[in-house]
């Protein structure tokens, strides 16, 4: 590679916003895992372990998904995202798929100039370790315009860390720009399993309207044997045709980016305080919590589903909740507002604290995922 080409690519990155913040991927080093470091018996789609990474899965496999410490040597990473096959899906149905995905807001992808004659090429680089050698598929999918581009990468040695670099051409199809908003415009997809509905055509290696059969041609079945694992870390997506070294961030900066989409307060002591507010009457309270960062959208509220896990503290007494907490429509992207309910005993107008009820199993989570 010539120095001229390298510096030209760095100049392109500079145009996009300098060498810092060049990585469009959030939590590419898998350092943040607010939901917990491991989930077993996974049989459906969802967010597990490492923040911002979603499993799309309608296979018959059973998985354990974790934030792992199995790493490529000497690269400065502390964590990887690991999928461990515990029950295999060795007979793949035509409509089955398994994909590890990160979604992106359109407003953060305008630097790609997608849908214009000036559209920019971009490069995805990552470290991967797969229990199965052969062809694997990485795809960019445009949700705004139902367009895709897929590229293959080859795992040469089983259970061995390998570094991969994939360059995607810019999409110069005029009239198909990305929406400049906070909704999901594009996704970066790593395929693990693909049925014939996604493999019976020709791999779509240039931008085109979505044809499912062209999405993952050649993809091996990484979920086909209970001895297989698939791990990834150091994921970077940047402008240009050259992969620059992974952009390491502080944990705090990485966490803040993740908290735009999700954050969780776990009960770490018996009476963990979640929020403060006041009693609206003898049975209803309203409490407030300032999010650590402005969230992507007004979040939904997650909780254990058991009312007795929660309580309010008022007038030097603990009163157990009689209903699970619910989000209040007055909330904003910056401020969480929660309604609490007890059977009786609160004093209207008096301050209260919303907390866990003598347990360390409860939690409150705010969800604004794409």
Per-residue pLDDT, 20: 80
Q: Are residues 226 and 107 in the same domain?
A: yes
Per-residue pLDDT, 186: 98
Q: In whole angstroms, what is the distance from residue 38 CA to residue 234 CA?
A: 19
Indicate the SS3 state at residue 3.
Answer: helix
Domain end, chosen from 195, 226, 259, is at: 259
Indicate the SS3 state at residue 163.
Answer: strand
Of 7-16, 28-37, 129-138, 324-333, give the lowest mean pLDDT range: 7-16
Contacts of 352 (CB under 8 A, 6+ apart): 276, 277, 278, 279, 285, 287, 312, 313, 314, 340, 346
19 — pLDDT class (breaks 50, 70, 90):
low
Q: Are residues 78 and 172 in the same domain?
A: yes
In the chain, the number of structural domains is: 2
Q: Are residues 83 and 150 in the same domain?
A: yes
Q: Are residues 33 and 85 in the same domain?
A: yes
282 — pLDDT class (breaks 50, 70, 90):
very high
Q: Are residues 33 and 165 in the same domain?
A: yes
Mean pLDDT throughout 106-126?
98
Extract the tokens encoding 282: 């003898």
Domain end, chosen from 259, 283, 310, is at: 259
Contacts of 362 (CB under 8 A, 6+ apart): 267, 272, 303, 304, 306, 309, 310, 356
Mean pLDDT throughout 118-145?
98
Q: Are residues 65 and 13 in the same domain?
A: yes
For the stretch 229-247, pLDDT in tens is 999 999 999 999 999 999 9
**Angle in degrees, CA 306, 35, 227, rounded to 5:** 115
Residue 14 has pLDDT above 90, yes or no: no
Contact 339, 295 (CB under 8 A): no
Q: Are residues 212 and 346 in the same domain?
A: no
CA dihedral angle for residue 247, residue 172, residue 204, residue 52, rounded to 10 degrees? 30
> Which phi and psi angles does 257 have, rounded to 5°?
-65, -40
CATH of the domain at 169: 2.60.120.260
Q: Are residues 167 and 271 in the same domain?
A: no
Q: Are residues 130 and 100 in the same domain?
A: yes
Residue 16 has pLDDT above 90, yes or no: no
For residue 366, the cross-strand partners are 263, 301
For the stretch 135-174, pLDDT in tens is 999 999 999 999 999 999 999 999 999 999 999 999 999 9
Q: Are residues 294 and 227 in the same domain?
A: no
In whole angstroms, how far apart are CA 108 and each of 10, 132, 135, 296? 19, 34, 31, 12
Domain end, chosen from 259, 292, 311, is at: 259
Per-residue pLDDT, 11: 37
Q: Are residues 242 and 344 in the same domain?
A: no
For the stretch 22-63, pLDDT in tens is 999 999 999 999 999 999 999 999 999 999 999 999 999 999
Q: Are residues 253 and 337 in the same domain?
A: no
Q: Tell me which residue range forms the domain holding 272.
A: 262-367
The count of other CB atoms within 10 Å of the CB of residue 209 is: 13
Residue 5 has pLDDT above 60, yes or no: no
Residue 6 has pLDDT above 70, yes or no: no
Residue 18 has pLDDT above 80, yes or no: no
State the pTM of this model.
0.93
């Amino acid at each position: 590679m010539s120095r001229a080409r390298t510096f030209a690519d760095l100049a392109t990155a500079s145009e996009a916003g300098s060498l810092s913040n060049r990585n469009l991927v959030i939590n590419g080093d898998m350092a943040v895992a607010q939901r917990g470091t491991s989930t077993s018996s996974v049989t459906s789609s969802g967010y597990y372990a490492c923040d911002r990474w979603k499993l799309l899965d309608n296979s018959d496999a059973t998985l354990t998904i974790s934030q792992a410490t199995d790493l490529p040597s000497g690269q400065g990473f502390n964590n990887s995202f690991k999928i461990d096959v515990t029950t295999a899906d060795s007979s793949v149905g035509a409509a089955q798929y398994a994909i590890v995905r990160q979604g992106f807001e359109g407003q953060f992808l305008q630097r790609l100039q997608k849908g214009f004659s000036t559209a920019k090429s971009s490069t995805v680089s990552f470290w991967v370790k797969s229990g199965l050698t052969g062809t694997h598929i990485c795809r960019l999918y445009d949700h705004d315009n139902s367009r895709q581009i897929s590229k293959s990468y080859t795992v040469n040695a089983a259970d061995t860390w390998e570094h991969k670099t994939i360059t995607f051409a810019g999409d110069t199809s005029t009239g198909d720009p990305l929406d400049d908003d906070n909704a999901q415009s594009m996704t970066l997809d790593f395929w693990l399993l693909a049925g014939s509905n996604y493999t019976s055509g020709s791999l779509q290696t240039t931008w085109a309207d979505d044809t499912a059969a062209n999405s993952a041609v050649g993809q091996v079945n990484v979920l086909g044997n209970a001895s297989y694992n698939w791990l990834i870390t150091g994921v970077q997506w940047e402008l240009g045709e050259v992969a620059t070294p992974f952009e390491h961030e502080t944990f705090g900066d990485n966490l803040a980016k993740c908290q735009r989409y999700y954050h969780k307060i776990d009960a770490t002591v018996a009476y963990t305080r979640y929020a403060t507010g006041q009693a609206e009457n003898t049975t209803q309270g309203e409490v407030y919590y300032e999010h650590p960062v402005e969230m992507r959208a007004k979040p939904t509220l997650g909780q254990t589903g058991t009312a007795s896990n929660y309580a309010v503290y008022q007038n030097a007494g603990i009163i157990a909740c009689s209903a699970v907490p619910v989000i209040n429509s007055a909330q904003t992207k910056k401020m969480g507002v929660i309604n609490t309910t007890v059977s009786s005993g609160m004093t209207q107008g008096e301050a209260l604290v919303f907390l866990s009820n003598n347990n360390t199993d409860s939690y409150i989570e705010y969800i604004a995922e794409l």
